[in-house]
Amino acid sequence: MKLQDLTLKEFLEKTASNEPLPGGGCSSALIAAIAAALIEMVANLTIGRKKYADVEERMKCIAKIMSDNRAHFMNDIDRDAVAYRLVMDAYSLPKNSEEEILLRKKKIQHATRIASIVPMELAQRAFSLLDIMDEALQIGNVNAFTDGKVGLLACRLAIKGALLNVRTNLESIEDKEFVAYMTEICMHIESKTI
């Protein structure tokens, strides 16, 4: 069963257990999905209201953007889990001979690279939504402003959580160019995510 298919209660119980999954990466993806859902709610509570007729088409567009991204973030819960398992599987490879040690090291580097790319993609996707979320708050139904604000805060948290995972994985990667490139993106997103 996919992690995204668990009930919220099951997900939280599994997170609280002595198992490594779902962990911080999966939780960052769930938080991003919640963020998108809250902004989608703002849009849907605006659509069809006479008072907001002039922004209705834009809010329909925002609702669709958030719906699509919510689905992506839900998939990211399991993408993160798969990436984590790849790393753990690589670390569990035998190291009894020089050949096995080299293969194990190569697999660890490859898996850790993937485990840094997955949360980076999550961070970039969530970051790309911040301005749209802010727009929804500015033009949307004022009665849903607090809900939308929680969504915006949750999105920032998801970005920061994902980038924390990226940085942690980069520490184990030997490819200096890749590390420099990913670090630069982290710094850019962090500097703009207030």
CATH number where 110 lies: 1.20.120.680
**pLDDT tens digits for 137-153?**
999 999 999 999 999 99
Number of domains, the chain: 1
State the average pLDDT for the chain: 97
Residue 101 lies in domain: 22-192
**pLDDT tens digits for 11-67?**
999 999 999 999 999 999 999 999 999 999 999 999 999 999 999 999 999 999 999
Residue 84 lies in a domain: yes
pTM for the whole thing? 0.94
Distances (CA, A) of 152 to 22, 37, 40, 106, 171: 23, 11, 11, 39, 29
Helix (H) or strand (E) holding 89: helix 56-91
Cα–Cα distance for residue pair 63/66, rounded to 1 Å:
5
- Residue 119 tokens, joined: 């949360």
Residue 27 lies in a domain: yes
3-state helix, strand, coil in the chain (%, to 5): 85, 0, 15
Residue 41 lies in a domain: yes
180 CB contacts (<8 Å, ≥6 apart)?
A: none
Residue 187 lies in a domain: yes
Residue 105 lies in a domain: yes
- Residue 162 tokens, joined: 């994902």
Exposed/middle/buried for 52, CB within 10 Å: 0-12, 13-18, 19+? middle
129 CB contacts (<8 Å, ≥6 apart)?
A: 35, 36, 39, 65, 66, 69, 155
Q: Is the pLDDT of residue 162 over 90?
A: yes
Residue 7 lies in a domain: no
141 CB contacts (<8 Å, ≥6 apart)?
A: 42, 45, 46, 49, 52
**pLDDT attached to residue 1:** 82
Q: Is the pLDDT of residue 76 over 90?
A: yes
31 CB contacts (<8 Å, ≥6 apart)?
A: 154, 157, 158, 161
Residue 40 lies in a domain: yes
Residue 14 lies in a domain: no
